[in-house]
Amino acid sequence: MKIDLQNKPRLDQYRKLKWLIFFRGLFAAVLFGSAVLIGVHGNLTFFSKPLIFINSIAVGLLILSSLYSVILPRLYHLVRFGYVQIFIDTLIITGIIFVTGSFSSIFSFLYLVVIIYASMVLSRTGGMFIAFCACVQYGVLIALEFQGVIYPVGIEAGFIFKNYNWNYVLYKLLITIAACFGVAFLSGFLSEQERRAKKGMWAMEEQVKRVEKLAAIGEMASGLAHEIKNPLASLSGSIQFLREDIPYDPDRDRLMDIILREADRLSALVNDFLMFAKPQPGQTRIVDLNVALNEIIKVFMADNRRSRRIEVTYELAPAIFIKIDPEHLRQVLWNLLLNADEAIETEGHIHIKMSAPDKNHASIRITDNGCGMTEETIKTIFDPFFTAKPKGTGLGLSIVQRIITSYNGFIDVESAPGKGTTFNIQLPREMPS
């Protein structure tokens, strides 16, 4: 099983397990080294009574560590592997405690070490689980010792009975259990926070990558769009020229009409796309919203076909200023008005209302009583290229949103199928200079 470098959580788990195996190996080597040192000092051999146990544990751990490092890259279920390893660690520690005096061993703190790294490598629940395993093992060990079933190594049988009373044993057991779970809780809490922070960082990295990719695609596509624009302009120009030059023939004229219309449509699409993929930075000015809206509405209503079937009403408010590139404002309102228009099939009504909800915001609401949208549609209307219209480009609202957010404003929408739609935009308000 190859490690997928794109899968960050998995890679992270893999790295943690690798470090765990490394440190376990190191621990085993140090254990072995110190046993050898003690042996040299005390003139003991490898197999002498107190050392044999430590030596076998160290050698066993070394063998296990090499085994783990060989199978780790071939495994799929990393988390399970982690559980197995750490569970085996608790068994080994119980072994160490047993050979160093059981109840009187000073090594019971090793459980805490295992619980801490279990929380780090596995999870909060992993840490709790290992704490539970440690407590059970320790409890069983002590109980067996007190029942006289097993005898602690190096201490003569019956020793415990003479030295400790039940209350003290129970007390120490309870303290150990409390320590195990306390440590599991704390380290679990910390590791959970680390995990969350990491997740946030990964998400941010992904986002950056996506944005970079989009920017690269946008760059390429906008280059292409520029290349399309020029031949398109020559095409329309030539047809118009031809049309004036050749004798009138209704059939031919209709065909030329189609060419011109489609060329216009293509050119509008390319323009929209350029606007979307590579918005021009814009020349911001302080704009009197009242004046700007008035102009745009006038141009919008000037279209004869439209004004006959759609009634446009508006409520404007004086002395509301915003800082914006007037061309951007025009683009935003035009796209929204056009959508409202297209949502009204035969006859209808569009209402434009401008207001200042507070001293820092200016708001424009555009309401139509057209076809409206379902909840499902609303979720996707701001996606580029989403359109419900046979000849739509699906770029209008993407451009609107892009422009509005670039001015730190926001846009929202309320709609009901068959009833109509309201788009509400809010932009930061400026005081005129």
Chain contacts with ligand ADP (rule: CB under 6 A)? 335, 339-340, 343, 368, 370-373, 377, 381, 386-389, 392-398, 421
In whole angstroms, give the CA distance from residue 373 to residue 339: 12
Give every CB contact of residue 351 below 8 A, 6+ residues apart in sequence: 312, 313, 314, 315, 365, 366, 367, 368
Nearest approach, Cβ of 291 to ligand ADP (angstroms)? 25
H helices, E strands: number in the chain: 13, 7
In whole angstroms, give the CA distance from residue 399 to residue 282: 14
> Which pair of tokens denotes residue 74?
């071939």
In whole angstroms, give the CA distance from residue 243 to residue 256: 7
Nearest approach, Cβ of 180 to ligand ADP (angstroms)? 59
Place of tokens 């044999």: 52
Nearest approach, Cβ of 389 to Mg ion (angstroms)? 8
Nearest approach, Cβ of 370 to Mg ion (angstroms)? 12
Residue 387's binding partner, choosing from ligand ADP, Mg ion, none, with beta-carbon cut-off 5 to 8 A by kind? ligand ADP
396 binds Mg ion (CB under 5 A): yes
Place of tokens 């992993």: 126
In whole angstroms, give the CA distance from residue 129 to residue 164: 30
CA distances to 209, 376, 378 from 381, in Å: 24, 9, 5
CA distances to 229, 323, 330, 365 from 356, in Å: 40, 14, 19, 11
Nearest to Mg ion of 78, 275 (CB atom)? 275
Q: Are 277 and 218 in contact (CB under 8 A)?
A: yes
The site string for Mg ion over 167-206 (x = CB under 5 A, - otherwise) reads: ----------------------------------------
Residue 381's binding partner, choosing from ligand ADP, Mg ion, none, with beta-carbon cut-off 5 to 8 A by kind? ligand ADP
Residue 61's binding partner, choosing from ligand ADP, Mg ion, none, with beta-carbon cut-off 5 to 8 A by kind? none
Nearest approach, Cβ of 249 to ligand ADP (angstroms)? 34
- Residue number, nearest CB to ligand ADP: 396
Residue 368's binding partner, choosing from ligand ADP, Mg ion, none, with beta-carbon cut-off 5 to 8 A by kind? ligand ADP
Helix (H, G, I), strand (E, B) or coil at 320: coil
Residue 389's binding partner, choosing from Mg ion, ligand ADP, none, with beta-carbon cut-off 5 to 8 A by kind? ligand ADP
Give every CB contact of residue 429 below 8 A, 6+ residues apart in sequence: 320, 321, 322, 356, 359, 360, 361, 362
Nearest to ligand ADP of 122, 275 (CB atom)? 275
Residue 393's binding partner, choosing from Mg ion, ligand ADP, none, with beta-carbon cut-off 5 to 8 A by kind? ligand ADP
Candidates 177-185, 246-254, 394-402, 410-418 — which segment interacts with Mg ion by CB under 5 A? Answer: 394-402
The site string for Mg ion over 319-358 (x = CB under 5 A, - otherwise) reads: --------------------x-------------------
Give every CB contact of residue 149 below 8 A, 6+ residues apart in sequence: none
Nearest to Mg ion of 218, 392 (CB atom)? 392
Candidates 22-30, 234-242, 276-284, 396-404 — which segment interacts with Mg ion by CB under 5 A? Answer: 396-404
Nearest approach, Cβ of 373 to ligand ADP (angstroms)? 5
Nearest to Mg ion of 103, 276 (CB atom)? 276
Nearest to Mg ion of 152, 396 (CB atom)? 396
In whole angstroms, give the CA distance from residue 161 to residue 74: 50
In whole angstroms, give the CA distance from residue 243 to residue 252: 9
In whole angstroms, give the CA distance from residue 207 to residue 202: 9
Site residue total, Mg ion (CB under 5 A): 2
Nearest to Mg ion of 98, 276 (CB atom)? 276
Q: Provide the binding-site residues for Mg ion, judged by CB under 5 A.
A: 339, 396
